[in-house]
Amino acid sequence: MKPSIPEPQLEKTTCLLCGSMHSTLYQEGADYFMRLPGTFYLVRCASCRLLYQNPRPPLDGIDHYYPDHYGSYSSTHVGLYAHPGLAGWLIRRAQHHRCRLLDQAVVAAPNQTRRLLDVGCASGLFLEAMQHYSGWQVEGVELNQQAAQITSKRLGIPVFAGPLEAARFPDATFDAITLWDVLEHLHDPMTSLRELRRILKPGGALFVRVPNAASYVAKGCGRYWSGYDLPRHMTAFTPRTLSHVLQQTGFDRLVCRYASGSYIAALHSLRFALDNSTFNAERAALIHRLLLHPFVRATVCLPTRLADQVFGGSNMEVLVLAHET
Query: Which residues lie near Zn ion (CB under 5 A)?
Result: 15, 17-18, 20, 45, 47-48, 50
Q: How far apart are CA 106 and CA 269, in angstroms?
A: 36
Q: Cβ 49 to Zn ion, closest distance in Å?
A: 7
Cβ atoms 228, 272 nearer than 8 A: no
Partners of residue 165 on adjacent β-strands: none
For Zn ion, the closer of residues 16 and 143 by Cβ is: 16
Residues near 289 by beta carbon (within 8 Å), at least 6 away in sequence = none
Residue closer to Zn ion by CB (options 54, 123) is 54
- Residues 34 and 70: beta-carbon distance below 8 Å: yes
Shortest distance, position 278 Cβ to Zn ion, whole Å: 39
Q: How near is the Cβ of 48 to Zn ion at its closest, in Å? A: 3
Instruction: Provide, rounded to whole angstroms, the least separation between the CB of residue 193 and Zn ion.
Output: 15
Q: Where are the alpha helices (DSSP H) in the chain?
A: 71-74, 85-105, 125-130, 145-155, 189-199, 216-221, 239-247, 262-275, 281-292, 294-311
Of 50 and 179, which has the nearer Cβ to Zn ion? 50
DSSP string, 229-248: -TTT-SEE--HHHHHHHHHT
Nearer to Zn ion, 47 or 248 (CB): 47
Contact 160, 85 (CB under 8 A): no
| Shortest separation between residue 190's beta carbon and Zn ion, angstroms | 11
By beta-carbon proximity to Zn ion, the closer residue of 198 and 244 is: 244
Q: How far is CA 24 from the centre of its chain?
A: 25
Task: State the minimum distance, in angstroms, from the CB of residue 194 to Zn ion.
Answer: 17
Which residue lies nearer to Zn ion by CB, 66 or 237?
A: 237
